[in-house]
Amino acid sequence: MAAHAYCNILTASRENSQASQLLAKESSYFHTKTYVEMFKRKLTALDYHNPGGFDCTDETQYRNCIVWLEDQKIRHYKIEERGNLRNIPSSDWPKAFHQYLQDLNCPFGGEQQPEAVDWLLGLAVRYEYGDNVDKYKNCKPLAAPTNSDKAVDPLLNLDGDSPDFKAGVTALANILKIQRHDDYLVMLKAIRILIQERLSPEAITKASNNREGIPVALDKHVLGFDTGDAVLNEAAQILRLLHIEELRELQTKINEAIVAVQAIIADPKTDHRLGKVGR
C-alpha cells in the first residue's frame, strides 16, 4: 500500500450513515470475541466452576456470576445486605446491580455488561491475590518463549474474511474516525499505527506537555524566494520556521551528547606504576 494511502486512512474522517448498525456489530463483536478469552483466564484463576462456558450475553449466567463474585471473592457487602443482589429473577435486579457498582466505585454502569464484568473480575483477582500472597509469590514465572514460538506478525494469523473480524475493525475505525478501506487488514494496520503514535501513554504525555508558543510576525521573516502566490509564500514561511525549530532541537541534543562524551574522556585515571596519565 502506498504511503499516501496510509496517510489518508489515518487523517481522513467522515460521517457514517450506518452508525447504529456499526455500533450493533461492535457490541456483538466484543461480546463474542474480545472478552471471551479474557473472562476465561480470569475466571480460571478464580476457580470458577465453568470458566470456559461463561456467556456474558446470557442474562442468567451473567447475574449468577456477579452474585458468585460478591459471595466468594469480593465480599463488599455484609451477608445480610446481599439479598437484593441474590434475588436474580427479580425485575429490580438491574437497579440493585447498578447500586452495587456505585458502592464499589466502578467506572462502568450496569448497562455496560462486558466492561462491568471485566472490571469486577479484575477486582476479584486483586483481592484473591491479597488473601493468598504467600501462595502466589512463590509461583515460578513462565519460561521465556523461544525464537520458534515468536510470531513474525500477529496480523498474519487473523482471518480477514471473518464477519466478526470485519465488524470489529469497522467499529474501531468508526470510533477513531478512520476512513473506510476495502482491505480490512489495511484498516487494522492504520488503527494500530494511530494508537501507537497518538494514544500510547508516551504520546499522550508528550501531547499534554505542549508549551505555549510565542506569536510570530511572518512579514518580518524573509522567505528568500517567491512562489508567485501569497498563500503559498505564507505556507512556505511557516514550514521554514518549523524546520528551524526542529534544527534547534537537534542541535541541542547534539550539544548534550558532546558534553556527555567530554565528561567521560576528560576524566583520565593516573596509573602511578606505569608513570602514565590517561587510560
Low-confidence ranges of the chain (pLDDT < 70): 1-36, 139-158, 160, 206-221, 266-279
Measured CA distances, 12 to 15, 58, 136, 177, 196 (Å): 11, 39, 48, 7, 18
Chain centroid to Cα 83, Å, comes to: 38
Backbone phi, then psi, for 235, in 5-degree steps?
A: -65, -40
pLDDT at residue number 130 = 80
pLDDT digits (tens, 9 = 90+) for 102-133: 999 988 888 888 888 889 988 988 888 887 77
Q: How far is the C-alpha of 91 from the C-alpha of 257, rounded, in Å?
A: 68
Backbone phi, then psi, for 28, in 5-degree steps?
A: -60, -40
Q: Could you tell me if 1 and 186 are in contact, meaning their C-beta atoms sit under 8 angstroms apart?
A: yes
**Torsion over CA of 177, 180, 183 and 184, rounded to 10 degrees?**
40
Q: How far is the C-alpha of 247 from the C-alpha of 104, rounded, in Å?
A: 52
pLDDT at residue number 99 = 92
Residue-averaged pLDDT of the chain: 74
